[in-house]
Every structure is written in structure tokens, then in C-alpha cells.
Amino acid sequence: MVKTYLRYEARRPFGVISSPSGNAVFDSTGKLSVTSALEDVIVWDVKKGTQVARWTDSDNRAEVTCIARSPNGTDYAVGYSDGSIRLFDLESNAVRVVLNGHRGQVSALEFDPTGTVLASGARDTDLIVWDVVGEVGLYRLRGHTDQITAIVFLGGSGKAESALHASSDGWIVTGSKDTLVKLWDLRAQHCVQTLVAHRSEVWSLALSNDQRLLVTGTADRELRVWTVDRQKLDAMAGEPHNESAEEAARRWAAISEYGTIERASRDRVVSLKFHPSGQYLGCLGGDRQLEVFRARSHAEIKKKLARRMKRSREKRKDGDDAAMDDEAEPEITAADELTAFKLVRTSAKAASFDFAPGEADAAVLHRQGALNVLVAQTDNQLGVWRVPVPPPGTTTKKANLADPSLVCAVDMLGHRAEPRTLALSSDNELLASAAGRSLRIWNVQTGGCVRTLECGPALCVAFLPGDQFVVVGTKTGVLELYDTFDAHEGAACWAIDVKPDGSGLVTGGADKSVKFWDFELVRDAQGDSAVVSRRRMTLEHVRTLKMSDDVLAVSLLDTTVKVFYADTLKFFLSLYGHKLPVMSLDISSDSTLLVTGSADKTVKLWGLDFGDCHRSLLAHQEPVTCVRFVWGTHYFFSAGKDKVVQQWDGDNFQRIQRLDGSHGDVWALAVAKFGNFVAAGCQDRSLRVWDKTEEPLFLEEERERELEALYDRGLEEAMDRTDHAPTGQDEDGEPETERAGRATMETLKAGERIMEALDLADAERAKWDAYAEQTRRMPHLAPPPPDVHPVLQFEKLTADAYVLRTVERVRAAELEDALLVLPFARVLALLAYVDVWARRRWNTPLTSRVLFFLLKTHQNQLVATRTMRPRLDSIRSHLRAAVAAQRDQIGFNLAALTALKTEWEANATAEFFDEAQIQAVLDSQLAKRKFTGLKA
């Protein structure tokens, strides 16, 4: 009989407000914050401190690394660590499209002014331009040799009629960790200028609203400011690119160095961003400082230059030779235009910041009198800072502005540090987690924080019987139970465990002792009277067991585990075998097995009858941090620094299943009494829960599934290397433009589905062709028609329509990669159906896209195949007629909509300016005036 187990499935993690791997942005109204939270995206109402929505994709396990807001205010592009990009809709809170093209972590995202084109940069050094409307990648630009860190769109009219027009209208500026800043021409799809002035990694870019100033931030203490010559860009767009890239760069140096601005921060630049009004520049450093620079007005710059000239004249009068030689009129520098304004000091390092987009209007900004800045910190905290600004026409010194202040924050729903210990209540309803100097009580079912308590530097925690009290062991050797007890004389208290009978607890510390405590209820008296006011819980030290080394988890720092009798404290067993200290141990509920997890990456099972080692298991790829038995069984869970939780069977020494999902080291585990769920505390400050389901699990099937997943990953990597290998450089030395796309298992499966549909349709057509030929040759026999294929009969489609339906079901972003899977013989078969679709005018846009991609990919083979010429001629004539008909229909509809708009505007204007109403208002005003005059 094959033994079966029950599978565990993960819930959504809780306790995460903002993860440091991604960024946070305001929504279009400035009231909500779209924040990265590990593999999910959370929409917070920062003022109320509540969660509005949570964006998640069940197929995604990767961490969010970048978020960008579309100009339309509803679409948000989210980049992940696996290179995928997902577009979410703020109104429906659902994923709209998935884009796969990068082979590394997405590090930069930027929408163009129209919102129809998205540019993405990643760790794989590629820049990809995406068509948001068509949900496809347009092209891939290669040139950087290290991770792309920042992208800004430059130029363009912003009034493109389509995404294809917008993608070739303007330029893109990219910054990279290879210390280079590149200017890309979207029309020619190549780099036209490279800035090589930086000596360290370029971490961020910012472009002013008038697109005149470009600011770059590196690891230096200075910000470099560049000027953008729009006339040269326009001239460059008007001339053909027949010259080499080097000649074009020398002739058209559209971006030139302007100067530098001194920063107050000593660390590298994390992020740069101009305020929507264009009057302020934010610079986020890595040392808890957000610097805000102010752009001086023309009057202020003129006044500053006048003072400079006055000082120069005074120096000439004093006989300063250097001043006399320099009699030219002073030039405006970058420091004259941008000056330091305010400094926001956060409580921890900040991961990102964003300005409120609703403050683009200067009148709104000056009416509220302050900037609103959203800051996401690396300690799992999100807040909005208020930075006062001077009124119009007033200098900063005269305004006497207050310092920036924190207006609102979301900080009570998560730990500031990583949770190192967990404990479950007896009814499995509450979960206690301790991190740093805070203790939080969570509702396991809802994931909500019930209570937050301040404590010492916690190392271990446990619920006391009755679930009314929680005891915390701290790094200073103190037990905290509302009252404090000096348990280990200043040494760290590493472990706490409640006795099975609930009469007390046991602690182990770094003072080489194990101490036993009993619970007591004492009565407090008020003053000198014996009137009892209340009863409170306290601890009484009963016994102490001295050890030869520091006690980690009732195990010793010398890699041994010692077993004693609980009643007499008599030594029983000493367990040797681990090569490094034991980090955690647990005893089964029947007291027959002891499991130990060590820093040597192994888990060992010991028998408590003779102290023999039943089995040593290489459980994790990194040190094991925690092991826990399931009550009533010999199943146990282990966690390690390899970000994995695993379930084991202690009887047959088999691994049951692997629980993935964490993005950091797993430090603590808490298992429900009957194994209904298991909770884990992770380095990424999240608390994760896996629930036991009714789905059976077989070990052989689980191993086969893991091997299939490993094979799929290897196959995907092999296809990706084959399809996207570099094709070399052109004669000018510039990298070539490549197709934007990446082979995945989804594209491979989509291609296989298309091939299966082609086989089915070809067989069906061959069967009906044979029937027609037989009917033509022997009409007197009247042979019966062949049976329709069950799939076609169920779908109620013909063979041609079935192939089209299969192609339509492929995601638009995966269609080209799916067509690459087809061999050339299947391509010829698909072109036959394309001819049918064009003749019957079925889904003309999709038909055109499939045809053009196949012609571009298999051009040489198709040209060499003579039998394809009649078919291509047929497709050309029929498809041109279909496109012309659709174009005429679209033009007719646009003309009708324009006429309706004109008619509506005429009617609305007539209703607004009602002559009768206007005359009545005028008459009433005249009457009042006459009455007032008579009164006077």
C-alpha cells in the first residue's frame, strides 16, 4: 500500500508594508500609494493607514523590483526579479497583460508621455520598447555592458495617433552601472550619443519638465547637470542617418555638460525626480536623507548675477589682478539655477520616494503651501512628508519656513526588523512574533495585527497556559512578562519552552545555564492595608542546571546535545555527530524521537531510548535555522537560510514536500497542534502561512513533478540562449536591434497547441477532400459523408475557424515566440489557412500580424519555394482588399463620431448660453439697481 500525505498550500504573506527591493508611487490623485510588497503590490490609503487593494498573480513567485505609473492614471507597470512585466489596472485591480522579454531582474520602467509605449531596462543590459496597446514588444536595443538603472523619454510630440508612431517619435536617455549615459534615437533604433564623463555607476536620471535640463546621480557627492539642445534633436530627426555613429555623435552633440551641484549626502544617489510643477528636484541618498533642490526663477538668477558682478567690480577696485583679467560678464551655471532648499531626515534608510502628481499646477502647490512627498523606507515603513514651500515672489529666507514634518505613516502593520521567533496560542488562533524591540500579536486567519507591545531585544517568545500572557526572552538575559525577571544575569536568553504540564517554563542562555521556572499568582496589596486589589502572574525560579558551554536551544555551542531527566536533572545522554552548533531541536509528542537542525546544513534524527542517530539528512543548501515536530505524528518541518521550508517523515526519512515562497532567510517556524498549518518568520519581514489541504500527495508523483520542473527550466534556458544569442554588430560597431521577446514554457506550449490544431485541421480537410474526390468519381454510389472530429463538433467550428480560434487564444505578447516553435513544414500549412482567413476577412489585424512575422522570419526559405508564389499572390490580393475595407470602415466611423461630437458641442453651447435666461437675469439686476437708487 502506497503511503499518502496531504499537501500544504501557501496563503498570502502578511506583515509586509513596503519591501526594500521595489519602490512606491503615488496614484494620480495623490491619496493612494501603490507599493511593492515582495511578490505582490499593495495599494495603501496612507492617511487612514488601511489597505485598499492587493494586486497578485497566482502564476508569479518572483519579487517586485520596479513600479511605474502610466500618464492615464489607471495603468501601472510592475517589473519582477525574473524579468517579467505585468500591467495592472487600478480600477479593476487585476492583471491586464504579461510581458516576457528580459532575462534578468527588471530595474527601470518608464512610460512615454502618451502612455502607449513602455520602455524597460534590466540587469541583462537590454533596453526593450513595448507597445502597451498591442501588448507586444517592438524591439530590443543593445549597447550597455551592465545593468540599466534609469530611463527617461526625451522629445516627441506627445500626440501620437498610435503606439507604433509614438515608438518612433522621440528619444530615450538611459543610465547604467557601466558609468555610461546613452541617447537612443527611436526612429533609427540606435544610440546616437554616449556621455562618458562619469567615473562611477550612474544610479538615476531626472529630466526637467521643459526637457532642457538632465540631471544624473552617481556615487559621487555631486550631481551632474546637462543641457539638452532641442534644435539639434529636431535637426537630427529631419536628416537621414547615412553617416556612422561616431560622426553623428561629433556633429550632433545634443546633450552637453552644464555643471555640477553639491550634495549634502555622502552616500550614493538612490533616486532623482523632478516635481510635477518643475520647480523642485528631489534627490534621495543612502544615508536617511532626502534633499530637495529649488529651481530659481529668472528674476532670482538675474539678481544673483548682478551681485556677482558687483563683487567682481569691488575686487577690481582693490587691485585684484585675477579679477581684473576676468572682465567678461559672468555666465549662468547649474548651481545658479538649482539651489539646496530643504532636507528631509527619515528614521531609516529610504528605498524610494515620489511626488504627488496632482501638484503639477503651481496655483495648487502654493495654495496648499507645501510639497507632499511619499517615502518608502527599507525598515518596512511608508510615510508622507510635508515640505513647506515659500509663497510666490517670496525668497526662502524671508518666508521663514518650518522644517519638513511627517504627516502620516503606515507602520503598525509590520515589523521594523526581521522576526526571529514565533509562537502559537493553544487554540491556534493567535500568533506572536518578536523582532528587534517589538512584540506583535497577529490573527492567524485574517493576518491582522491585534496588539503591538514594546519589549527588549527579543530572541525567543512563548504563550503561557491560558493564552493570556506572553513571555519574551531578550538579548540582555531578561524575561519579560509585564514584570521583568533577571533570568541569565545579563547573558542572552536564547530559548524558552513551556513545560508539558503547563506548570512552568524552561529557559536556556549564554551564561551556560538552563533555568526552571514555575508560575505563581500573587496578590497585590494597596498601601498599608491588607485589601487585595488584583492577582497577577509571576515567575519563581526553582532550579538551575549548569552546562559546560553556552546554551543555544537546550543544545550547546560545542556542537553537542545533552539530555537530562526533567525531574531529577540527572544526566542521561550526550549526542555527538554535528560538525557545527545545533541551532534548533524538538522532541516528538510521544518522547521517542529528537530532531536537531544544525549550521552544518544537516538534520539528524535521534532515538531517546539509547541516544542512537537514526538518520542524518542533508536537508538544506544553507544552515538549518529551525525544526518543529507535528503533534501526534513523527512528521516534522525544517527551515533554513536557503529560503525554503521542507516537510519530512521521521519514520521512513523521506522528504514529503518543499514549501517555497520566501524571499529571505527563514528564521522561525510555528506548527499548529495537529499540523493544520505551519507559520514561518522570514528575513524579508514577512509572516507566511501554509495551510493543509485535502489534496493527496504521493512521494513518487512529487519527485516526478520536481524533475519535470527542473527539466522545463533547463529547456527554457536552452531555448532562450538559442533564440536570443547576440547576432554581432554592424559595420559602424553599434549593436544591432533585436526582436523583443523571450522563450518560455508558455510560448512552447502555445506553439505545440498551434501544431496540434494544424494537424487536426489538415486531417479533417484531407478527409473531406477525399470524400469530394470519391463523390466526383462515383456519383452513382453516393458515399456517406465522413464523421466530423469530436473536437470540431464540440466547438461547432470548421477546420479553418478552429485554427484561427487556437491562434486567437494565444496571448498577444507570446504569439511571436509561439510561432517560432513551428517547423518550416508547419509554417507552409499555416500560410494556407492565412490565405483562407484573408479571403473570408476573418480577424484581419491578427491575420496581418501572423503573415508579416512569418514572412520576416522565413523569408529565405519562402523565396526558395516556388510552389508558394501563387499562394502568396492570393494572400496579397485578398489581404489588401480586407485591409482597405477595414480602413474605410474605420474612417466612416471616425467621421460619424466627429459629426456627433460637433452636434453635441453645438447643442451644449446653445443650452449653456440661453438668451432668454440671460435676459431675465439682466432684467432682475437692472430692477435691483433701480430700487437701490430710489432707496438712497
- Give per-residue pLDDT as tens, 520-557: 877 665 554 444 455 677 788 888 888 777 665 556 67
Tell me the residue type at 55. W
43-52, 354-363, 579-588, 652-661: the lowest-pLDDT one: 354-363
831 in the same domain as 693: no
Average pLDDT over residues 741-753: 87
Question: Which H helix or E strand runs over 517?
Answer: strand 513-525
**Residue % of the chain over a pLDDT of 70:** 87
Average pLDDT over residues 670-699: 92
Q: What is the CA radius of gyration of the chain?
A: 36
To 10 degrees, the CA torsion angle through 728, 729, 734, 738? -50
Find the helix or strand (DSSP H, E) in which 912 lies.
helix 868-912
The position carrying cell 476573418 is: 842
Q: Is the per-residue pLDDT at 740 higher than 60? A: yes
Helices (H), 589-736: 699-723
The three three-digit cell numbers of residue 230, written as one number = 532641442
The three cell numbers of residue 366 are 502654493
Bridge partners of residue 707, in order along the sequence: none
pLDDT score at 936: 35
Helices 868-912 and 824-840, packing angle to 10 deg: 50
Helix (H, G, I), strand (E, B) or coil at 678: strand
Domain assignment present for 843: yes
- Give the pLDDT band of residue 215 (cuts 50, 70, 90): very high
The domain total for the chain is 2
What pLDDT does residue 332 have? 83
Burial 538-577 (b: 16+ CB within 10 A, else e): ebeeeeebebeebbbbbbbbebbbbbeeeeeeeeebebeb
The whole-chain average pLDDT of the chain stands at: 85
Residue 629's DSSP bridge partners are 636
- Residue 837: inside a domain: yes
pLDDT at 733 over 90: no
Q: Which domain holds residue 774?
A: 743-885
Are residues 769 and 854 part of one domain? yes
Do residues 361 and 286 make contact, with C-beta atoms less than 8 angstroms apart?
no
What's the gap between Cα 702 and its chain centre?
30
Q: How many CB atoms are closer than 10 A to CB 676?
A: 13
Average pLDDT over every residue of 758-781: 87
Q: Is residue 374 part of a domain?
A: no
**359 within 8 A of 384, measured Cβ to Cβ:** no
Is a pLDDT exceeding 80 seen at residue 758?
Answer: yes
DSSP SS3 for 220: coil
Per-residue pLDDT reduced to its tens digit, 891-912: 999 999 999 999 888 877 655 5
pLDDT of 731 reads: 42
- Report the alpha-carbon distance of residue 473 to residue 435 in Å, rounded: 12
pLDDT in tens, 173-182: 999 999 999 9
CA 168 to chain centre: 28
Distance CA 367, CA 362 (A): 8
Nearest to 336 by CA among 285, 307, 301, 376: 301
Buried b (16+ CB within 10 A) or exposed e, 144-164: beebbbbbbbbbbeeebeebe
Is 814 part of any domain? yes
Query: In the chain, what are the helix, strand and coil shares in percent, each to the nearest 5?
Result: 25, 35, 35
- Whether 300 shows a pLDDT value over 60: the answer reads yes
pTM beyond 0.75: the answer is yes
How confident is the model over 312-361, as pLDDT tens digits? 777 777 665 555 455 556 778 888 889 999 999 999 999 999 999 988 87
852 and 799 in a common domain: yes
Number of H helices, E strands in the chain: 18, 54
Residue 61 and residue 319: Cα distance in Å, rounded?
72
Note the pLDDT tens digit of each residue in 37-79. Answer: 999 999 999 999 999 999 999 888 899 999 999 999 899 999 9
Quick one: cell of 135? Answer: 501588448
Q: How far apart are CA 36 and CA 66, in angstroms?
A: 8
Q: Which residue has the higher pLDDT, 652 or 549?
A: 652
Say if residue 655 is in the same domain as residue 796.
no
The CB density around residue 395, as the number of other CB atoms within 10 Å, is 10
Residues 669 and 777 in one domain: no
Residues 554 and 698 in one domain: yes
Q: Which residue has the higher pLDDT, 385 or 552?
A: 385
| Inside any domain, residue 501 | no
- What pLDDT score does 930 carry? 46
CB atoms within 10 A of CB 670: 25
pLDDT of residue 498: 83
Instruction: Tell me how crowded residue 171 is: count the other CB atoms within 10 A of its CB.
Output: 23
| pLDDT higher than 50, residue 297 | yes
Q: Which of 703, 727, 760 is the last residue of a domain?
A: 703
CATH code, domain carrying 641: 2.130.10.10
Q: What is the DSSP string of 456-508?
A: SSEEEEEEPTTSS-EEEEETTSEEEESEEEE-STTS-EEEEEE-TTSSEEEEE
645-649 vs 582-587, strand pairing mode: unpaired
Of the residues 676, 703, 730, the one at which a domain ends: 703
The pLDDT assigned to 910 comes to 53
C-alpha cell read off for 620: 538544506
Residues 611 and 670 in one domain: yes
pLDDT tens-digit series, residues 857-904: 898 888 888 888 899 999 999 999 999 999 999 999 999 999 999 988
Whether residue 480 has pLDDT greater than 70: yes
Count CB-CB contacts under 10 A for residue 710.
10
Instruction: Return the pLDDT at 249.
Output: 53
Which amino acid makes up residue 377? Q
Looking at the structure, do residues 783 and 690 belong to the same domain, yes or no? no
- The answer to whether residue 568 sits within a structural domain is yes
Strands (DSSP E) found in 841-900: none
Answer yes or no: is 557 within a domain. yes
How far, in Å, CA of 50 to CA of 687, rounded? Answer: 18
Considering the domain architecture, whether residues 749 and 699 belong to the same structural domain is answered as no
Q: Give the model's pLDDT for residue 730.
A: 46
Spatial contact of 449 and 441, defined as CB atoms under 8 Å apart: yes
Residue whose C-alpha cell is 546535545: 561
Q: Are 771 and 697 within one domain?
A: no
Taking the CA atoms of residue 164, residue 168, residue 172 and residue 178 in that order, the dihedral angle to the nearest 10 degrees is: 90
Q: Are residues 555 and 643 in the same domain?
A: yes
415: nearest Cα among 828, 14, 75:
14
Answer whether residue 283 is part of any domain.
no
Q: What is the pLDDT of residue 407?
A: 92
Are 806 and 693 found together in one domain? no
pLDDT attached to residue 808: 93
